[in-house]
Structure 1
């Protein structure tokens, strides 16, 4: 998954997607562009770049890879490696209709501020699960996406 931000409108902004409601895994949820590593990918970085190109139209040559964050396991047993990147120049955001209902940006200041997060819980598969949320306008950022962003916020606060 690609945790990518730009600095085109003064304040840095993070690129996120709203997943299509008909997807099998995590339908309608807010997510980073990303997906599984395919055999032709050069590991998690290659997969993140390919998926960002496919899902939001981000040209691979338009990013500077800053590094990776610690892998995160989702409650649905996916192990994801967040790839942190800076987007060099504006590009035409083109959501992939089959996977992405919407592509949008959030101020980096919102998701890098630990005070913007809160913990909520709900029952899932017979157990109460707690998770981070960081709502922004009409977007309910939660679960693995919010957990990754909270880890990034904690790291930036150090």
Structure 2
């Protein structure tokens, strides 16, 4: 039964997240050349943010949602991402930021989310953000209500897809008029790269440990 297997999966992931994380070693596997070429370091204007990586059972399998950002005048326009955003003054911590943003962006009922732990915080040079990935589970498939200002589409990704090594590729991607070499995950016709791919890389390394 999926309920039993999902509970087993959740408990294994919770326990693994309490142990030392692979961090930079996992991030480096999916980092683009632009990350190192830019040479941007955290500074006094660097802001904090968080995303929610939320697993749920559905049709005898396990899924998580990614979102497609709309086209806009910004560094992350049109990219695939986890629901999330910047920390606000009302947030007592970054876990609360991730939950609040997920609720605002895709309508996840955060009171039903069980937080399992955190992945390694990641600096994003183009937007000058530190982002904290928060990992949680829902006991059911949520009804998604995407905010059209923030989300063009919600893409439900099966865990088995992420575990398939054939979805990993590498190509040149244009970033603000400059071509950079970037590893990516090919998921349902979308190329997931950059910080989101780096988070997925660490997530997979944690799950496979």
- TM-score (ref. length: structure 1): 0.89
- CA drift of 1:116 comes to 3.2
More helix by share: 2
For 2:90 and 2:109, the matched residues in 1 are separated by 17
Match of 2:129 among 70, 78, 96: 78
Q: Is the 8 Å Cα contact of residues 169 and 186 (structure 2) preserved in structure 1?
A: no
- Which residue of 2 is the match for residue 103 of structure 1? 154
**1:49-88 pair list within 5 angstroms:** 49-76=99-126, 77-88=128-139
For 1:126 and 1:54, the matched residues in 2 are separated by 32
For 2:73 and 2:62, the matched residues in 1 are separated by 30
Residues 3-50 of structure 1: per-residue CA shift (max 9 Å, x gap): 111112211111110001125230110000000111111211000000
- Which residue of 1 is the match for residue 167 of structure 2? 116
Is 1:6 matched up with 2:63?
no
Secondary structure of residue in 2 paired with 1:145: helix
> Please, which runs of 5 or more residues in structure 2 have no aligned partner?
1-50
Residues 99-143 of structure 1: per-residue CA shift (max 9 Å, x gap): 100112111122244553234345757987443300112221111
For 1:5 and 1:23, the matched residues in 2 are separated by 31
Is 1:38 matched up with 2:88?
yes
For 2:109 and 2:141, the matched residues in 1 are separated by 10
CA RMSD, Structure 1 to Structure 2 (Å): 2.0
Q: Is the 8 Å Cα contact of residues 167 and 187 (structure 2) preserved in structure 1?
A: no
- TM-score (ref. length: structure 2): 0.69
> Please, which runs of 5 or more residues in structure 1 have no aligned partner?
none
For 1:2 and 1:23, the matched residues in 2 are separated by 24
Q: Is the 8 Å Cα contact of residues 112 and 149 (structure 1) preserved in structure 2?
A: no
For 1:20 and 1:125, the matched residues in 2 are separated by 16
Question: May I ask how many residue pairs the two structures share in their alignment?
Answer: 158
